[in-house]
């Protein structure tokens, strides 16, 4: 999938606008699930929440739904690796990366992926971008995935700050 840089920048800006308008975690998930794929120029994206020691695949925008509704232990998948290590996983070929479990990918049309953590200082989610063909994951591609994850991190921090301030006002009233 090829897009010129100006289009990608405009799409990234739109994702930022949607995330800036988010008022809840559900809004953040919906914004990512509906617009991140175009901003990244990938075949699919998955939004994964850290949930009680598991990776919960809560949203997906793809040619074919592959992961939505599935759960895996944090230690058993690349999204968990990204959250546990607070680091982006760049996987040029899922067949040869030890962070990617073989069984779940056997019948999936995914060859390359980037999984970026969302949340700081401790990630609470991850954004996965994937491609059906082997893809050269250059710095620009990885930077776009990380930029979208960074916008989601900012949105979550803003939401958390707002709810903390509201709680304080209610407690002092």
Q: What is the pLDDT of residues 118-144, one digit of tens each?
A: 998 899 999 999 999 999 999 999 999
Tell me the domain boundaries of the chain: 5-162
The pLDDT of residue 168 is above 60: no
> Residue 25: enclosing H or E segment and its boundaries?
helix 25-40
5-162: CATH superfamily: GAF domain (3.30.450.40)
The pLDDT of residue 154 is above 90: yes
Task: For the chain, give the mean pLDDT.
Answer: 87
The pLDDT of residue 165 is above 50: no
Model pLDDT, residue 140: 92
Rounded Cα distance between 1 and 136, Å, is 12
Rounded Cα distance between 93 and 153, Å, is 27
Rounded Cα distance between 51 and 164, Å, is 21
More confident residue, 102 or 148: 148
Q: What is the pLDDT of residues 23-68, one digit of tens each?
A: 998 898 888 888 888 889 999 999 999 999 999 999 888 877 788 8
The pLDDT of residue 92 is above 90: yes
Percent over 70 (pLDDT), the chain: 91
Percent over 90 (pLDDT), the chain: 57
Rounded Cα distance between 91 and 162, Å, is 36
């Amino acid at each position: 999938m090829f897009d010129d840089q100006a289009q990608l920048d405009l799409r990234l800006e739109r994702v930022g606008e949607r995330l800036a308008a988010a008022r809840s975690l559900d809004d953040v998930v919906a914004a990512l699930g509906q617009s991140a794929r175009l901003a990244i120029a990938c075949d699919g994206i998955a939004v994964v929440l850290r949930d009680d020691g598991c990776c919960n695949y809560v949203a997906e925008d793809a040619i074919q739904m592959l992961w939505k509704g599935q759960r895996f232990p944090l230690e058993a998948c690349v999204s968990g690796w990204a959250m546990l290590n607070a680091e982006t996983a760049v996987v040029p070929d899922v067949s040869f990366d030890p962070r990617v479990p073989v069984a779940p990918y056997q019948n999936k049309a995914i060859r390359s992926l980037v999984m970026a953590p969302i949340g700081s200082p401790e990630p609470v989610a991850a954004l996965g971008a994937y491609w059906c063909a082997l893809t050269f994951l250059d710095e620009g591609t990885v930077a776009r995935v990380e930029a979208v994850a960074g916008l989601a991190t900012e949105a979550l921090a803003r939401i958390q700050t707002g709810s903390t301030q509201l709680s304080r006002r209610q407690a002092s009233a």
